[in-house]
Amino acid sequence: MLKHNTYFDGRVQSVGFERNGLKATVGVIEPGEYHFGTGAAERMTVTSGQLKVKQAGGNDWVTYPQGTSFEVAANSGFDVQAVGGPAAYLCEFLG
Amino acid sequence: MLKHNTYFDGRVQSVGFERNGLKATVGVIEPGEYHFGTGAAERMTVTSGQLKVKQAGGNDWVTYPQGTSFEVAANSGFDVQAVGGPAAYLCEFLG
């Protein structure tokens, strides 16, 4: 079953799915700054546009263009900004 | 504004967005076979899983694994199957 998720008044939306026992979502982040907490660890791959990310406990904003990925530890979180327009991503839950 | 799209009783869902004047969607296709018509030409990139595709007027099913893309002409269409579980994609409208 596919599941539509919407956050921050619809400014971040995704579709959740599962394959081979692993959960994942594909979604879009509109320009703006948002914080996401994590339960399981996640791998975020930017599939369109560009994201700027600051990991929990970190000070630096790191830019991830299309085709690049970053991982977020379990029980942690990250601040994220979509830069230059909406950005699309694949989020894979790692455990 | 992001837009949630749902087709075939929710077995195909996507989130639509626009950046730099180009429309795009990210979405998920559940196992099964579906037909999509095109208005504008489209580039479909498989971001997770695998799609089998037969273009309108074609006889062959071609397999596209994660990381590969195919294009569909304007005012045409394609049959598509998700293979081995749901598959996720980025669809870019080319004009």
Chain B contact probe: residue of A19, A45, A66 with most B CBs at under 10 A: A19
Q: What is the mean pLDDT of residues B7-31?
A: 97
The residue ranges of every structural domain in chain A are: 3-93
Chain B contact probe: residue of A7, A12, A14, A28 with most B CBs at under 10 A: A28
Question: Average pLDDT, whole number, for chain B?
Answer: 97
Residue A70 has pLDDT above 80, yes or no: yes
Quickly list DSSP for chain B. --EEEEETTTTEEEEEEEETTEEEEEEEE-SEEEEEE-SS-EEEEEEESEEEEEETT----EEEETT-EEEE-TT-EEEEEE-SS-EEEEEEE--
Residue percentage of chain B with pLDDT more than 90: 98
Residue with tokens 């080319």: B94
Q: Is A21 helix (H, G, I), strand (E, B) or coil?
A: coil
Per CATH, the homologous superfamily of domain B3-93 is Jelly Rolls (2.60.120.10)
Task: Tell me the HSE value of A37 on the side-chain side, using a 13 A CA sphere.
Answer: 2
Contact B48 A30 (CB under 8 A): no
pLDDT for B95 equals 76
Residue B14 has pLDDT above 80, yes or no: yes
Q: Which of B2, B4, B26 sits opposite A47 (nearest CB)?
A: B26
Per residue in B58-84, pLDDT tens?
A: 999 999 999 999 999 999 999 999 999
Per residue in A7-62, pLDDT tens?
A: 999 999 999 999 999 999 999 999 999 999 999 999 999 999 999 999 999 999 99
